[in-house]
Amino acid sequence: MTAEDLRQHYNHYYRPGNAVLAVAGDFKTEEMLDRIDANFKQVPLEEGQSFQVAEEPPLDGEKRVHVTGPGETSYVQIAYRAPSAQDKDFFSLTVLDSLLTGPSSLNMFGSGGTSNKTSRLYKALVEKEISVSCHGGLQATHDPYLYQIYLTVHPQQKPEDVLAALDREIEALLASSVSQEEIDRAIKQARALFAYSSENISNQAFWLGYTEMFDHYDWFEGYVDHLSKVTPEKALKTAQSYLNPANRVVGFYTPQES
């Protein structure tokens, strides 16, 4: 990558027509608009650059990656193909994330938090000393992306055993119906974390701009309502669509023997 490559990238994407300005806080609208005009009006208004990201073909089976390096701890990371934030399945997968690993924040400036000790994988893996920790992550994105699960391997276990234990829990989820009580708890936890990560002024400005990039601000305002509409049947159908081995890449990190 050269300096000219960076200049071309900057000139291509960093232009007013390709940007959103979000303002949040205690201000007077007219005064703020005057300040915005003073700082930005002189910048030439150029249209944004539209571009299409090529749709990835389906995986032809599970992929596995093995990495070794320094340290004393082994890790397992599982990445499932996931829908974009505009897809109706996104909200069901958010509830599944809360159910399996505990709720994860969609906000890069997230604050607060909730415990994941009631989640299925915590009970099955951490409490039974198969893994030291487990966390999940799902991001709201314009294009289809990833749902990831991160596992720290217990010193007395092997990475392959941790993956096998995780698969048993997901197979159990797919083989039986999810109770309404479990769905209600998962929704409640996801809603609580979303509220924690949206309460300060910086985060409100973030959501104003960020949602306009991948959908519309209505997405943010309707987020809790969308979660509340997830039923056990919807959650199970979404799990069957996305949480299968043919839809994932598994990464193993193990310390070097030397």
Let me know if residue 51 belongs to a domain: no
Question: Does position 258 have pLDDT exceeding 70, yes or no?
Answer: no
Do 69 and 197 lie in one domain? The reply is: yes
Map tokens 């599970």 to a residue. 62
Q: What's the length of the chain?
A: 258
Please tell me the total count of domains within the chain.
2
pLDDT at 108: 55
Please report, in angstroms and rounded to a whole number, the separation of the first and last CA atoms in the chain. 35
pLDDT at 129: 96
Nearest to 32 by CA among 205, 169, 155, 168: 205
pLDDT at 110: 53
Do 197 and 126 lie in one domain? The reply is: yes
Strand residue runs (E) in the chain:
63-69, 75-82, 131-138, 145-153, 248-255
Q: pTM to 2 decimals?
A: 0.86
Q: ∠ at Cα 153 (152, 159), nearest 5°?
A: 120
Q: Please report which confidence band the pLDDT of residue 79 belongs to, taking 50, 70 and 90 as the band edges.
A: very high
pLDDT at 176: 82
Do 101 and 171 lie in one domain? The reply is: yes
Q: What percent of the chain has pLDDT over 90?
A: 57
Q: Please report which confidence band the pLDDT of residue 202 belongs to, taking 50, 70 and 90 as the band edges.
A: confident
Cα gap 96→100, rounded to integer Å: 6
Q: Which strands, in side-by-side order, build the sheet including 75-82?
A: 63-69, 248-255, 75-82, 145-153, 131-138
Across 31-59, b (16+ Cβ under 10 Å) vs e yields: eeeeeeeeeeeeeeeeeeeeeeeeeeeee
Question: Does position 80 have pLDDT exceeding 90, yes or no?
Answer: yes
Do 35 and 89 lie in one domain? The reply is: no
Let me know if residue 111 belongs to a domain: yes
What are the backbone dihedrals phi and psi of residue 71, each rounded to the nearest 5 degrees, phi first?
120, 180
pLDDT at 107: 61
The pLDDT tens digits of the residues spanning 217-249 come to 899 889 889 999 999 999 999 999 999 999 999
Do 119 and 226 lie in one domain? The reply is: yes
The mean predicted confidence, pLDDT, of the chain is: 89
What residues make up the domain containing 196? 63-255
Do 115 and 213 lie in one domain? The reply is: yes
Let me know if residue 160 belongs to a domain: yes
The pLDDT tens digits of the residues spanning 10-62 come to 988 888 778 889 999 999 999 999 999 999 888 877 765 667 778 889 899 99
Domain of residue 212, CATH code:
3.30.830.10
